[in-house]
């Protein structure tokens, strides 16, 4: 059961983790996009995505511990 528990917790964090990497890549490679987003916008979105990943991890852990 512990291995399955760890796999489910990790699986829950994958979408937010992938999006964080995508946003960090956009922040490092672009000056500004056509829709007006700056590097600061991408940095704030990446921080929000990391917080979302942590919240999903905590939520999944709480549900699976019950």
What is the 3-class SS of 1-66, one letter each residue? CHHHHHHHHHHHHHHHHHHHHHHHHHHHHCCCCCCCCCHHHHHHHHHHHHHHHHHHHHHHHHHHHC
Where along the chain do its domains lie? 14-28+36-66
Q: What's the Cα-to-Cα distance from 51 to each of 29, 31, 37, rounded to whole Å?
A: 23, 25, 20
What pTM does this model have?
A: 0.78
For 14-56, write each residue's pLDDT tens digit. Answer: 998 999 999 999 888 866 667 788 888 889 999 999 999 999 9
How far is residue 56's CA from residue 40's CA, in Å, rounded to a whole number?
24
């Amino acid at each position: 059961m512990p291995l399955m528990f760890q796999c489910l917790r990790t699986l829950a964090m994958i979408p937010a983790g992938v999006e964080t990497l995508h946003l960090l890549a956009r922040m490092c490679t672009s000056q500004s996009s056509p829709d007006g987003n700056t590097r600061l916008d991408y940095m704030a979105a990446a921080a929000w995505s990391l917080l979302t990943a942590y919240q999903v991890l905590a939520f999944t852990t709480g549900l699976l511990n019950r």
